[in-house]
Amino acid sequence: MLLPRLALLAALSLATIGQGAAQQEEVPPEGIQIGLSTDSVAITSDFAGTNLTIFGALDNADPLVSRQGRYDVIVVLEGPPRTTVVRKKTRVLGMWINTDSVVFKDVPASYSVAMTRQPQDITDPGSYGRLALRVDNIHLQPLDADGNPRTIEEFAAALVERKEAADLYVENVGGVQFLSRTLFRATLYLAPHVPVGTHNARAFLFRNGVFLRETSAPLTIRKAGMEQRIFEFAHRQSLLYGLSAVLLAIATGWLGRLVFRRD
């Protein structure tokens, strides 16, 4: 009787040790959170561009990985999708005229990126491609999918180049800085003519070059001041706005006639 009891106790002890070890091994996965100080940004007619700051934190971060600086974060502020037409001008008989065009759908109106380090130090090009992350990997889809692939590629490159020249597509290496082992701050640039609408702030977490988690938060950019009031009046009271525009045009013409009248 003693031996079977000892065997049973030994089996129970081994099972308890195994369960304890399994519980120790079940470490919660890392996560990432971001917070916006405001969910709406108002811009006026004299807006000259500014930096937007986004704060974030890592959840369940490994202390050893944090101390070794092997966590990386990329934050993206993506503007509302819009249909965009890219035209090609050719000189014909001494005049520049539109000779060809390609229409792209769901093009991000703006795309601002901030990252902790140089892109090649965070992850490999394949990961950027799979995540459609960074300017070079924005998926530009033509409205006419049966068009010439070489022409589509040429016009897509022209579209990105035009956006970059207007500071609407920008990348800020070092724009994400860790304030502590788990807290970070991202600085993103808003161009002077940043598009209004709902923008999407997205944060990507990497560990040793491997993508772990993504999170997002909406941000609304809207006009403010007299320009916004006129815009709202034109959309809410379209008939009155039209009549006001006609009366203003008549009054302006009448005053101009009085000023420049020759008697």
pLDDT above 60: residue 15: no
Domain 28-79+110-223, second-level architecture: Sandwich (2.60)
Domain boundaries, the chain: 28-79+110-223, 225-256
221: closest CA among 168, 184, 173?
A: 168
Residues 177-207 pLDDT 10s: 999 999 999 999 989 889 889 999 999 999 9
Local confidence band at 222 (pLDDT 50, 70, 90 cut-offs): confident
Q: What's the rounded Cα separation, in Å, for the pair 208 and 31?
A: 15
Q: Nearest 5°: CA angle at 77, between 48 and 114? A: 90
85: closest CA among 7, 155, 163?
A: 155
Instruction: Provide the whole-model pTM.
Output: 0.75
Residues 105-115 pLDDT 10s: 999 999 999 99
Q: Are 102 and 155 in contact (CB under 8 A)?
A: yes
* Token pair listed for 54: 């986004």
pLDDT above 60: residue 257: yes
Q: What's the rounded Cα separation, in Å, for the pair 222 and 216?
A: 20
Residues 73-82 pLDDT 10s: 999 999 999 9
Task: Give Cα separations from 15 to 4, 7, 9, 21, 96 (angstroms).
Answer: 17, 12, 10, 10, 82
Q: Taking the CB of residue 184, how many other CB atoms lie within 10 A of it?
A: 24
Q: Give me the phi and psi of 120, to 5 degrees please.
A: -70, -15
Give the 3-state secondary structure of residue 109.
Answer: coil
pLDDT on residue 79? 94
Q: What's the rounded Cα separation, in Å, for the pair 50 and 191?
A: 7
